[in-house]
Structure 1
Amino acid sequence: MTYISRRNAIGLLAGATTATLATPSLAQAKPKIAFILNGTPGDVGWNYEHERGIAQAKAAFGDQTQIDTFYGVKEWGEEDAAQLETLSGQGYDMIFACSFGYMQSMMQAAFAAPDIKFEHCGGFVRTGNMSTYSARWYEGRVPQGLIAGTMTKTNKIGYLASFPIPQILRGINAAYLAAKSANPDVEFEVVWLNSWFSPEREEEVSRQLIANGADVLLAHTNSTKPTEVAEDLGAFAFGQASDMSAYGPNATLSATINNWGPYYVRQIGAMLDGSWSSTNTWGGFADEMIAAGEFSDQMPNRLFLKAADTVERLGAGQMNPFVGPVRRQDGSAWLAPGETASDRDLLKMDFFVEGLTGVIPSTGN
């Protein structure tokens, strides 16, 4: 699978674009599953793709289960903890928390309710009744970096980053190394927003990056604004988490598309048949947890073929974006020639690679 069309799934948004909490029936005897999202499918990105995955789970299990979704649950604080505590007391058998910032509250909920099965998206801490799952988004940054480095005419790439956490840093570093391999003169300007979804701020930063000379934008934020601004100002951009080409048909070069449905179907099925266990799942192109969006026909044919080959090789395990020699930003050694970064190294990544400029701020969380 290389492409998932946003248009094929647009019907999933009907009735699910407001940040409201569902009101499940306590009289329901069938197994109950809850999903909590930090926004709504209206972001056309992160939550949109989770909603698409949830819809696949509902279609797979029909009337066998009750699946409820709770929208707009804030991370990093008391609201997510209160929501998880409430759900734990309402008879839910399985709870999915679909964002990194739910980790601490979900750990507390898992310890307090050992009979409930918990699933945390983006986390790295497990308990006996709590699994973690995530995607290797950094793999998707490799074809993006390759394309960006080739398509830029100014040699300047703008990057909108959400939080300074390992999953974001892996993506920035992977994109930069790929871009640098295609264009030794390329430069990245990274701006930290400390927000997953901030349309007004994303628009402001996108315009500023282009004003500073960037003619290609990459983003690890949730709104379509970078794509819209690129379309408006004649720059290029990439869809983040989903295909966003409808918001910038001339600007969009490709996308990294999240694909959660198969995982949700598998895990809920395991809960129902009694085979569920606490696991860590970290999938990329090979596992079809991510897909590359359709490549723009504005790309030269040679680049099109190279980008497609890159996706194929990543999916086949024949390519890794982090192979030495690679140094850290401060010039210190990281990967020796021929050495490949381990998953352990990637999971704790807290630095820029050599050549990137700027400072990585504290998370503040």
Structure 2
Amino acid sequence: MSLICTGCGAPLQMDTEDAPGYITNEAFMREQPVCQRCYRLIHYGQFQPMAIPEETYRQVVMKALARPSFVLYVMDLFDVSGSIVPGLTGVLRQHDVMIVANKFDLFPKQTADEPVKSWLLREARRAEIPASDAVLVSAKTGYHMDELVEQLEARARKKQIVVMGMANVGKSSLLNALLSRLDPEQTRFTTSAFPGTTLGSMAIKLGDNGFTIVDTPGLMGKHRIQDRVCKASLKLIMPTERLRPRVYQLQKGQSLFLGGLARFDFIEGPPQSVVVYVANQLRVHRTKLQQADSLYQRHLGGLLTPPCVSCDEGLRTLVPKNVSFTEGRPVDLAIPGLGFLRLSGHAIKGVIHLPKGVTVNVRNALL
């Protein structure tokens, strides 16, 4: 069988039910067959987690980039540090790369485009992503999608368009929004709120537009918290509506818990505000530093949730890391797959506690 699932891109097969691409004989006879996993996700909302190995992911992307391409490097603007794909800087330099920052609809209404775009390109250079430009979009609302189409028509007419990015940055939703504008009759990609929906590479030739779009699978990794929580906990940490920043006036000797997944201790410095950007449904708890350890032990999985008993066991032990800043510009403490804390720019010494394998990213403040 040489056909691939039109939903997730996995090669269709009838041999192993638990493997990617499994399809029954009856389903295979349909006009546009999808694998059993995609069918259950589309019609019943049942998600079966599957992750491709990093080396397999790299091979798929390298194959897609075997000829000159216009690369749409899709990032989640809410989780820029968790959107950086490792190990592909060298091969990307051979192509025309544009960053597409999705989920702009999550940010406060007064957020201006140009400062965020400039900030994003600076962060891309810092991460050695060879991007020539960036566009801020929302696949959900359609924001700037027409501008993206104009960019494609101007810059990618004679090249294949390769779409790449980490899992759950909204690649499939973005592609569906593009298809609705470029070729409304084209089959749509399977989407879900869970990472790792797309499992293989898919090429689509669009009708009168002359485009060939190649979708690659999203990479999952242990460095992002969202890839290590269970399905129920994922709903608590993934924002689905415009963020409501939470401002805490902190002084030394106080701690902030982000659920039970992260903790920030204010050790030394003048009283100052800390702005928390996480999903609105995630509970943030302030307490005294001297009570923080005992509170964590007593209330992990209850008051401090997630993680829960179904999440990765490694999330239940937090590792401390010292952070300190002199008086200067505001900075973010970005936690891949969870959100970020905005520090005001006053001198401060603190400790950030995160699960093993998750590293805080210190950056100039996004907002």
TM-score (norm 1): 0.31
Q: Which structure has the bigger radius of gyration?
A: 2
